[in-house]
Each structure stands twice: as C-alpha cells, then as structure tokens.
Amino acid sequence: MSVAPVSVATLAAMKARGERIVSLTCYDACFARLLDRAGVDLLLVGDSLGMVLQGHATTVPVTVEQMVYHGAAVARGRERALLMVDLPFMAAATPERALDNAAQLMQEGGAQVVKLEGGEWLAETVRRLSEQGVPVCAHLGLLPQSVNRLGGYRFQGRDETSAERIRREARILEEAGASLLVLECVPAALAGEISQSLSIPVIGIGAGAGCDGQVLVLHDMLGLNPGRPPSFSRDFMQGHSSIGEAVAAYVAAVRDGRFPAAAETPY
Ligand SMILES: Nc1nc(=O)c2c([nH]1)NC[C@@H]1CN(c3ccc(C(=O)N[C@@H](CCC(=O)O)C(=O)O)cc3)CN21
Ligand SMILES: CC(C)C(=O)C(=O)O
Ligand SMILES: [Mg+2]
C-alpha cells in the first residue's frame, strides 16, 4: 500500500496542527529508502555532502552537477518524503542563474523544493522562482557557504542588531514567496519567536526546540562524524543497535519535542 506523498502544503498543515516536522540530510538512494520508511518527512540533499562525503573542509567546492547527481539518487529511493535540494555556492548569485540552476535541480535532480542561503538580497530571486512554480526554502542564521567571510562556523543572531536583521529578513523572504525557512545556529529564543511570527514552517538546526521542525546532518546523528560533532547534534546510535532503530528514535524524539534537549541547545 502506498502512502500520500508529502508536499509543502502537507508541511504547512502540520505546522497549523502543531505537529513537528522531521528532516534529515540524505545523499543516496539506500538511505532515502530507509529514512522514508522510518517516517522522515523531508529529505535534504544538503551541500554538506561536500564535507561529509567528499572530505572538503567547507561546502564551497560543491557544484550544481554534484547536487543533481545526489538528488537523482535520493529521488529514486524516496516514496513519501518530500525532496529538497540545496543550491550550492554561487548558484543563486543572480536571479537568472538561480532560475537556470533550479530548473536543472528539479528536472534532472528530482528536487521538489530548492533551498538557498542568504537574506534580503535574495528576495527578488525567491519571488521569481516561486512565480515559476518552484517551492523555495530560505536559509538564515549561520550560512556555511559564507564561511570564508565569517571565518568559522559560529552561532549568529546573538546580539540585538544581528537578531533584528534575521527577524526582518525572515519576514521579507516569507513575503517574497518562500514556502519554508531553515534557521541554522541561532539562539533558541530568537528561533522560537520567528517560528511563531511566520506562517511558513521553520526548520531548525542548532536553533532550539521552539521551531516547527528539526533537521540534522545524517552522519552526525549516526555518530559517523570523524571529528568533534557539532554541539547541537545527538548520536542516536547510542543505545540502538541498528541504523533503522537510531533513525526511528530520532523521528520519535523530534515529534515528541524531546530533541533538541537543553544539552543540544547551546544558546
Ligand atoms: N557534519 C556536518 N554537520 C553539520 O551540521 C554541517 C556540516 N557538516 N556542514 C555544513 C554545515 C556547517 N555546519 C556547522 C559546522 C560546525 C559547527 C560547529 O562546530 N559549531 C560549534 C559552535 C561554534 C561557536 O559558535 O563558537 C559547536 O560547538 O556547535 C556548526 C555548524 C552545519 N553544517
Ligand atoms: C545543515 C543543513 C541545513 C544544510 O544546509 C546542509 O546539510 O547542507
Ligand atoms: Mg546546505
């Protein structure tokens, strides 16, 4: 028996009902099948694959072609879960480039939602994409594609000026037509406030339990991070003897609001 596939409308309805949205990154068909069957709602083919799979120090080297390759693999494994793909570094540098690259991600890469990193400057791009029928996920807070400007992977929005900028940009991108928002590494109070004030679902990573949903990098939550895992992650293999069990435990913990706990909420 098949199940109704998840759409951005499904996620909006979940937010309206107060049901938490469960998301993980996913880069291949095998994991897509496993995560889909475990009840993950939203699969993100993240450009984090440049670090996790390819061994780069940042996500900057990742290309649109590589996102298409992994997107298509995940698309072949999924059935119910919605498939979101990152536009990688510089792929949304102009609205025209963003439209061309989003077309490729959707037509060849199986993307059902396209995610892009950045604030107010992307409003026109979000409007154009959404006019063309592309569901867009905005991404604010820590922007890993800007690591060379930022000088490291640090929490954002910790002072009032920067918090107010994130609030404002979230509003602007929603008004421009974004269907979803990812908030990465921002204080829980700020993320909770933005989640309540926006009508679109807000998915947090390192952003506390007050968001409408949670996302983690798959390898981090399976304890496969070779270095020190980010402080906001949890190793769900602890106490579980299979990957399927660990993923099911993550799904249940997010749904019940048990993840992230205080220990995984640095600010
Ligand atoms: N494996 C992996 N996990 C991720 O969450 C992730 C990636 N890769 N690659 C792309 C971005 C980069 N991200 C990162 C990477 C490191 C930290 C980190 O170590 N943060 C410190 C806090 C730093 C500070 O605010 O001073 C931490 O302890 O969490 C955070 C986000 C999130 N994304
Ligand atoms: C960390 C998430 C949100 C992401 O953008 C990625 O995995 O690339
Ligand atoms: Mg990304």
| pLDDT tens track for 236-245 | 999 999 999 9
**What's the mean pLDDT when you consider all of the chain?**
97
| pLDDT tens track for 182-197 | 999 999 999 999 999 9
Are 191 and 232 contacting, i.e. CB atoms less than 8 angstroms apart? Answer: no
| pLDDT tens track for 137-195 | 999 999 999 999 999 999 999 999 999 999 999 999 999 999 999 999 999 999 999 99
| pLDDT tens track for 58-89 | 999 999 999 999 999 999 999 999 999 999 99
How much is the pLDDT for 3?
Answer: 85
How many angstroms separate the CA atoms of 96 and 252, rounded?
A: 41
Which entry of 174, 184, 193, 245 is annotated as an active-site residue?
184
**Can you give the residue ranges of every domain in the chain?**
8-264
pTM over 0.95: yes
Q: Ligand 3 centre from 54 Cα, in Å?
A: 14
Atom 7, ligand 2: which residue's CA is nearest? 46
The torsion defined by the Cα of 179, 234, 260 and 51, in degrees rounded to 10, comes to -30
DSSP for 95-145, written as a single string: HHHHHHHHHHHHHTS--SEEEEE-SGGGHHHHHHHHHTT--EEEEEES-GG
In the residue annotation, 184 being an active-site residue is answered as: yes
117 is in an annotated binding site: yes
Residues 106-127: what's their mean pLDDT? 98
How much is the pLDDT for 225?
Answer: 82
How much is the pLDDT for 228?
Answer: 85
Any ligand 2 atom below 6 A from CB of 86: yes
Pocket test for ligand 2, best of 35, 105, 113, 215 (most atoms within 8 A of CB): 215
Residues 213-232: what's their mean pLDDT? 94
ipTM greater than 0.90: yes
- Asked if residue 2 has pLDDT above 80, the reply is no
**Residue 265 structure tokens:** 């909420």
Burial 143-167 (b: 16+ CB within 10 A, else e): bbbebeeeeeeebbbeeeeebebbb
Query: At residue 158, what are phi and psi to the nearest 5 degrees?
Result: -90, -15
How much is the pLDDT for 1?
Answer: 56
Tell me which CATH homologous superfamily contains domain 8-264. Answer: Phosphoenolpyruvate-binding domains (3.20.20.60)
